[in-house]
């Protein structure tokens, strides 16, 4: 048995109650411990297969208003401008799309400006050509009128005054009538002189315009005439043409001044061909023995080379310088000469 007494005195009972209350109060004042988070445990049934992983769903195809499938739009490729060097396409491909767009926009502005300048230049050329054609037409019309007027004035003066005996009229007429008649004669003479001078100026102007136009065409046909020594080259070629033309019967330096650029080039080629033939073709010794002429049996003998040459050139004598009238006839003549020499 325990030695603890079974009975408590009043003082002991009060002391135990007081101590118990104080312990309960101290315990209530202590801070509560933080609650541990609940852990979710996955309970797997024994022997059950694990759930398969979910695969990402494919996007649904885009459809149009009518339900048909619509292909996704591809990003357009920005090609290099036509002016971009083909050997530097790698550099173009390395550029960003924004840089390419800036370059293309600038290229478009440049091309637009070039096209506009080209249209302006074409319009200026068109107006200049129209003005030139108009001036040439007016000049030609004036020349034709003067060329028609001069013979009439000359014929009128001849028929009206050729048989006039001024000494006799001075004796028969009084001073006033004689002076009026004399003034009328002088007016007719002056009208003829003025028309003749104006016609000469018009023809000179037409000739100058023609030569300037042919000079420009010569520069276009032979770029060497535009070079640093162009004037010298042209002068040497002109001298060669003049020397060659001097061998052609009836061609004078004055007539040569009225030929076209095409005829000049044709004569130059013929002169150079003749010069080259003279250097490469050896001269043949002349035969001393006389040759017998075969009977012609009534047929006309074939013309000699000299006669053929003269025949091809006979029309040149009638050619005039105004308007480059030598062109067609000299073309035919030179073609005949060159053809004859090639046969040799």
pLDDT at 328: 47
pLDDT at 187: 94
Q: What is the mean pLDDT of residues 163-173?
A: 91
Q: Let me know if residue 332 belongs to a domain.
A: yes
Lowest mean pLDDT among 31-40, 111-120, 182-191: 31-40
pTM for this structure? 0.48
Rg for the chain, CA atoms, rounded: 58
Burial of residue 319 (number of CB atoms within 10 Å: 0-12, 13-18, 19+) = buried
104: which 2 tokens? 């293309």
Q: What is the mean pLDDT of residues 212-241?
A: 90
Q: Let me know if residue 248 belongs to a domain.
A: yes
Range(s) of the domain holding residue 338: 229-275+309-344
Lowest mean pLDDT among 104-108, 192-196, 305-309: 305-309
Q: Let me know if residue 235 belongs to a domain.
A: yes
pLDDT at 122: 94
36 — pLDDT class (breaks 50, 70, 90)? low
Looking at per-residue pLDDT, the higher value among 161 and 319 belongs to: 161
| 3-class SS letters over the chain | CCCCCCCCCHHHHHHHHHHHHHHHHHHHHCCCCCCCCCCCCCCCCCCCCCCCCCCCCCCCCCECCCCCECCCCCCCCCCCCCCCCHHHHHHHHHCCHHHHHHHHHHHHHHHHHHHHHHHHHHHHHHHHHHHHHHHHHHHHHHHHHHHHHHHHHHHHHHHHHCCCCHHHHHHHCCHHHHHHHHHHHHHHHHHHHHHHHHHHHHHHHHHHHHHHHHHHHHHHHCHHHHCCCHHHHHHHHHHHHHHHHHCCCCCCHHHHCCCCHHHHHHHHHHHHHHHHHHHHCCCCCCCCCCCCCCCCCCCCCCCCHHHHHHHHHHHHHHCCCHHHCCHHHHHHHHHHHHHHHHHC
Please name the residue that has the structure tokens 């033309």: 245
Q: What is the pLDDT of residues 65-84, one digit of tens each?
A: 665 655 656 677 888 988 89
pLDDT at 258: 79
Q: Let me know if residue 74 belongs to a domain.
A: no
Q: Let me know if residue 76 belongs to a domain.
A: no
pLDDT at 78: 87
Q: What is the pLDDT of residues 41-55, one digit of tens each?
A: 444 444 545 555 555
Q: Please answer whether residues 267 and 244 qualify as being in contact, where contact means their C-beta atoms are separated by less than 8 angstroms.
A: yes
Residue 200 pLDDT > 70, yes or no? yes
247 — pLDDT class (breaks 50, 70, 90)? confident
18 — pLDDT class (breaks 50, 70, 90)? low
Q: What is the pLDDT of residues 115-145, one digit of tens each?
A: 999 999 999 999 999 998 999 999 999 999 9
Q: Let me know if residue 245 belongs to a domain.
A: yes
Q: What is the pLDDT of residues 254-278, one digit of tens each?
A: 777 778 899 999 989 999 998 888 8
Looking at per-residue pLDDT, the higher value among 249 and 265 belongs to: 265
Q: How many residues does the chain have?
A: 344
Number of domains in the chain: 1
Q: Let me know if residue 128 belongs to a domain.
A: no
pLDDT at 315: 37
Residue 148 pLDDT > 70, yes or no? yes
pLDDT at 228: 84
Lowest mean pLDDT among 93-102, 315-324, 329-338: 315-324
Q: Let me know if residue 341 belongs to a domain.
A: yes
Residue 338 pLDDT > 50, yes or no? no
Question: Average pLDDT, whole number, for the chain?
Answer: 75
Q: Please answer whether residues 122 and 168 qualify as being in contact, where contact means their C-beta atoms are separated by less than 8 angstroms.
A: no
């Amino acid at each position: 048995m325990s030695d603890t007494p079974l009975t408590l005195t009043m003082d002991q009972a009060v002391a135990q109650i007081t101590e118990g209350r104080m312990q309960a109060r101290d315990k209530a004042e202590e801070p509560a411990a933080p609650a541990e988070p609940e852990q979710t445990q996955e309970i797997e049934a024994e022997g059950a297969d694990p759930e398969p992983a979910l695969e990402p769903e494919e996007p649904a195809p885009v459809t149009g208003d009518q339900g048909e499938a619509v292909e996704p739009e591809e990003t357009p490729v920005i090609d290099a401008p036509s002016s971009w060097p083909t050997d530097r396409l790698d550099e173009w491909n390395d550029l960003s799309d924004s840089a390419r767009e800036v370059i293309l926009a600038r290229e478009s502005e440049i091309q637009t400006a070039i096209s506009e300048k080209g249209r302006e230049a074409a319009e200026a050329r068109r107006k200049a050509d129209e003005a030139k054609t108009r001036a040439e037409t007016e000049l030609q019309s004036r020349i034709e009128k003067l060329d028609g007027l001069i013979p009439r004035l000359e014929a009128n003066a001849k028929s009206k005054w050729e048989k006039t005996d001024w000494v006799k009229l001075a004796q028969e007429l009084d001073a006033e009538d004689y002076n009026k008649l004399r003034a009328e004669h002088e007016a007719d003479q002056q009208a003829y002189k003025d028309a003749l001078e104006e016609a000469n100026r018009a023809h000179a102007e037409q000739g100058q315009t023609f030569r300037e136009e042919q000079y420009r065409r010569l520069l276009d046909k032979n770029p060497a005439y535009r070079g640093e020594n162009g004037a010298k080259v042209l002068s040497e070629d002109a001298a060669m043409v003049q020397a060659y033309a001097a061998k052609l019967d009836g061609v004078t330096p004055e007539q040569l001044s009225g030929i076209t650029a095409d005829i000049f080039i044709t004569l130059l080629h013929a002169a150079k061909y003749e010069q080259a033939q003279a250097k490469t073709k050896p001269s043949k010794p002349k035969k001393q023995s006389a040759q017998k002429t075969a009977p012609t049996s009534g047929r006309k003998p074939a013309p000699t080379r000299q006669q053929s040459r003269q025949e091809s050139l006979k029309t040149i004598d009638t050619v005039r310088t105004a308007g480059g009238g030598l062109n067609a006839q000299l073309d035919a003549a030179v073609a005949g000469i060159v053809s004859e020499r090639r046969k040799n």
